[in-house]
Structure 1
Amino acid sequence: MTHGVALQRVALHTRLKPGKEAEYESVHAVIPPELDEALREAGVRSWRIWRDGLDLFHVVEVEDYAKMRAALRDHPANIPWQARMSELLDVEDDYSGGDSGLGLVWELP
């Protein structure tokens, strides 16, 4: 349980390769159960993705974003998933694990 654990909310931006929109949505219709389990074990509580054309915007609620990325980097459930995503996403937006998300500009208090 996450009672008492402050969650980080991290926004991400990735970009699809042209013509991969429908395939990306189809692949995300149901993610593999082992990936779902790995994400949850790594502290992810919520991951939402919106699409505008080729642009993808993600909001991740996680206990510790950097720790989650490190835990998933070589996870057996994540490796084939990221290989599949590399077929759909622009090369510059690969899963390197070194990012800290988009910087927050404004939030309604």
Structure 2
Amino acid sequence: MERFKYWLFIVLLLLIILISAGFSLWNTQAVPLSFGIVSLDPKPVSFWVVASFATGGVCGLLLGAGFIRDYKLKKRIRKLEKELANIRLGKVSRADDKESAKES
């Protein structure tokens, strides 16, 4: 079964490469891209499509890997460690207690 999955993966990968190459060869008309303020030079339609898929894939990998979530968690951990240090030193006021209660 493992061998079948391997060959199926290879066949699908080759099929995707073949379809992508055909798409790139048949869609060569240059098209400018404008985002309102920013205008980009004319490039083939296939370039814009492939670039958008690649950008989406990279963004999806970054989000899926949890880089943004990890950054937020590390930031929160640093904040809580500072609060804990202040509590140990006796520097906590009532306003800090109320802010902590709201965030929880």
Q: Quickly name the TM-score band, shorter chain normalised.
A: under 0.3
TM-score in terms of structure 1 length: 0.21
When Rg is computed on C-alpha atoms for both structures, the one with the higher figure is 2
More helix by share: 2
Higher relative contact order (CA 8 A, sep 6+): 1
Q: Which has the higher strand share?
A: 1
